[in-house]
Structure 1
Amino acid sequence: MTRKIIVGYDGSPDARRALTWALDEAARTGVPTELLYADEWPLWAPAASLAPTVALRPESYVADKITKMLDDAVRAAKETHPAVSVSATTAWSYAPAALITSSAEAALVVVGGRGHSAVAGLLGSVSAAVSAHARCPVVVVRGDATGAEPVVAGIDGSALASAVLHFAAAQAMSRTVPLRVIRAWTPVIGPWEQGPALPRPVTAQERRPFDALLAVVRDAFPDLVIEAEARVEHPAAVLTAASSTAQLLVIGSRGRGAVPGILLGSVSQHLLRHSACTVAVVH
């Protein structure tokens, strides 16, 4: 079974940018694309009907609004990307739940950077919730890339580093751009110290696993230009700065919190909010 690129789509400007990104990716890879609209109304309409208001949705809304919106989007996508197989579906679910469920059989989930559901206070933004729980890589579309900028991979010492690097390398190869790999060690400041940590070089012992991982990726992608940086600096600061000259920033998902997986790590959360370019979160 060919896995699809699933696009969270609600007709908003951010969703349209996400769809364009997904269609471009599908054109490069030959993967079919499916627009997924999450209709949350049936879930919270019973509670809304108890309120003293007449703001109930007419029965024809699905056909008149939702179906037409999706049909128009599919028609436009086939005009701009005629080689891409495009379809659309509606799920009666909260947006994060619908996308997370679909991710189990997807090659990629693509969402806009500002998508929110009716339960934002519970699950957080759609992009953060889906990035934390999806079963496949998640792309959160931000900024406007010209196509000439490199792909940046931000890695650490975890087991995710290899998956992040290989995903980023494949993206760079398909776009014919260099790959910039950044490994940052967070400076350690003791409670007795005042001010910022003093700069120091990365030791040979620290760098050895990083260089070994790079060697594997260079062997797997011999024609790819790879630039590598090892720095002692907070990863969020380094990668945010790197995003300003990148077209795609690839990071790993590391759940933190009292319940494993319920939240993204602090660096991931920061980059989803502050990256100047599109972010791919790899699981």
Structure 2
Amino acid sequence: MAHPASSILQHARRNLAEAEAVVALHAPDVSVERELVVGYPIAVLVAESRRADLVVLGDRGLSRVGDLLLGSVAVALACHGACPVAVVRGGGQAPASAPVVVGLDGSPVSELALAFAYEEASLRGAPLTAVHTWMDLVVDPAMAPLLDWEAVQVDEQVVLAERLAGWAEKYPDVQVRRVVTRDGPAHALLAEAAGAQLVVVGSRGRGAFAGMVLGSVSHAVLHRSPCPVVVVRPGKKR
């Protein structure tokens, strides 16, 4: 009878071979290096991220437990990894005309997310949707009826325009759609994700996107997005 550890290793080797076959089928020009590592997924992937441009996790979508495990690995990598982390979700491939969506809050990390999103949009020949929400401006709900929401909307549109300034010159091929809305960030991003091929968020923002990775917003996007999600954090540049 085969030792359980031997069976596990054989199964892992088959998975690696199948993965290499998928790459050969869909991207024959891409070289593949197989590596079978024994260890805890988080520790191994964090170590691998130090020499990577991107770490990609697949969503098996088998159960809520599977989602929780996926989330724990994704969150750990987003906090401690040295490169962006992609979580591939969704049952089908979005059309090439579908946009890349990026969440912005004006923080330095969201600038990194914007840079990543612009590059991806350019490489994919896709449009870019830049999302900025401002619901967190209301500290006291009792003051809400007294505020000039139209003026706030105009001010927040200026904020987003400032964030996008200069990028059009660097990526003239990327068409940009701006979304400025009084809404929660998770709800706004998930609404745009419904028709997107990729969602990009920063890992440590402020304001509406504060706690994007560690809090409920990140979990909502990672677990409910119908398309792949990339979490960008400070660290090695792509």
Question: Bigger relative contact order, structure 1 or 2, given CA contacts below 8 A and separation 6+?
Answer: 2
8 Å contact 1:152–1:249 — kept in the other structure?
yes
Q: Distance in 1 between matches of 2:194 and 2:160?
A: 24
Residue pair 1:165, 1:217 contacting (<8 A) in 2 also: no
Among 193, 218, 225, the residue aligned to 1:268: 218
Query: Is this contact kept in 1: 2:105–2:205, CA < 8 A?
Result: no
Q: What is the aligned-residue identity percentage?
A: 38
- Write the distance in 2 (CA, Å) between the matches of 1:87 and 1:152: 31
Q: Deviations over 1:160-203 (max 9, x none)?
A: 12111111011111111110101111242526579x99892335
- Distance in 1, Cα, partners of 2:5 & 2:153: 66
Gaps of 5+ in 1: 1-55
CA contact (8 A) 2:153 2:181 kept: no
Which of 159, 168, 173 is equivalent to 2:117?
168
Equivalent residue in structure 2 for 1:89, among 24, 35, 59: 35
Could you tell me which residue of structure 1 aligns to residue 236 of structure 2? Answer: none
Deviation at 1:148, TM superposition (A): 2.3
The Cα RMSD (Å) is 3.2
Checking the alignment, whether the CA contact within 8 Å between 1:255 and 1:264 is kept in structure 2 is no
- 1:29 maps to none
Deviation by residue 1:183-229 (Cα, 9 ceiling, x = unmatched): 111242526579x9989233554443421221121121122111112
Aligned partners of 1:159 and 1:255: how far apart in 2? 8
Residue in structure 2 matching 1:253, options 191, 203, 215: 203
CA distance in structure 2 between the partners assigned to 1:122 and 1:274 by the alignment: 15
Going from structure 1 to structure 2, the CA distance change for 1:268 and 1:76 (only over 3 Å counts) comes to closer
Equivalent residue in structure 2 for 1:210, among 151, 157, 160 = 160
Is residue 25 of structure 2 the alignment partner of residue 79 of structure 1?
yes
Residue 113 of structure 1 contacts residue 127 of structure 1 at CA under 8 Å; is this kept in 2?
Answer: no
Structure 2: runs of 5 or more not aligned: 234-238
CA distance in structure 2 between the aligned counterparts of 1:121 and 1:152, rounded to whole angstroms: 24
Per-residue CA shift, 1:118-169, capped at 9, x if unaligned? 9x98996322322332211111111122332111111112111211111101
Choose between structure 1 and 2: higher strand proportion: 1
Aligned to 1:70: 16
Matches within 5 A, 1:38-57: 57=3
* Residue 243 of structure 1: how far off its partner (Å): 0.6
TM-score by length of 1: 0.68
